[in-house]
Homo-oligomer: A and B are copies of this chain.
């Protein structure tokens, strides 16, 4: 079966619910065999995740914070929502600065993925941050209580999949980093 036999066509889209940070739409789509089906999709802005590398890859700069969805402490790579009129690269530099107080001499794109292509419309952009220097204090949003800390790459690699390394997109970013390191070696 070719890709054309898997592809659906969108016929109609209607907003069902609108929150500040995302909206929910009903999309009526036509199946490859010509059947109409409704799908519920979460529409939101693109996100960015940054892997700040320290000490030549021996460690990362990570962010520790309370997460309201999972209701627990999460230690994760810095990241967030890309703002309007901001490129993914600019969003990466801003989130790094706000959440860790650092600036990167070099920001390299690692890849782009869909956080959940089944039910979410947006993409998440991954960047590697190198030549890190501390530029000042953290600048969290008013509802963020966060700390930033150096954690060894070995600990993060061992830890993903168990608290506090619970954020799937941190493991996605680590996958890119591991791939890069393999190619270097």
Contacts from A to B (Cβ < 8 Å): 1, 3, 5-8, 10, 16-17, 19-22, 24, 27, 29, 31-33, 37, 39-42, 64-74, 76, 110-121, 123-124, 126, 143, 145-147, 157-158, 160-162, 166-169, 171-172, 174-176, 178-179, 182
**A118→B160 contact, CB < 8 A:** no
**What is the distance, in angstroms, from A109's C-beta to the closest C-beta of chain B?**
9
**B160→A176 contact, CB < 8 A:** yes
**B42→A68 contact, CB < 8 A:** no
**What is the distance, in angstroms, from A22's C-beta to the closest C-beta of chain B?**
7
* A116-B168, A119-B21, A178-B178 as given contacts; A37 in contact with B143, CB under 8 Å: yes
Pairs A-B, 8 closest by C-beta atoms = A111-B161, A67-B117, A70-B117, A175-B175, A17-B17, A70-B114, A39-B68, A113-B168
Q: Which residues of B contact A166 (CB under 8 A)?
A: 112-114, 117
* A17-B17, A160-B176, A176-B160 as given contacts; A114 in contact with B66, CB under 8 Å: no
Candidates B37, B68, B118; contact of A69 at CB < 8 Å: B118
Bound state CA distance, A119 and B79, in angstroms? 14
Interface centre among A6, A66, A175 (most CB of B within 10 A): A175
Q: Which residues of B contact A69 (CB under 8 A)?
A: 41-42, 114, 116-121
**B115→A116 contact, CB < 8 A:** yes
Q: Which residues of B contact A7 (CB under 8 A)?
A: 66, 73
**What is the distance, in angstroms, from A45's C-beta to the closest C-beta of chain B?**
12
**B70→A169 contact, CB < 8 A:** no
**B39→A124 contact, CB < 8 A:** no
Interface centre among A20, A31, A146, A161 (most CB of B within 10 A): A161
Q: Which residues of B contact A70 (CB under 8 A)?
A: 114, 117, 120-121, 123
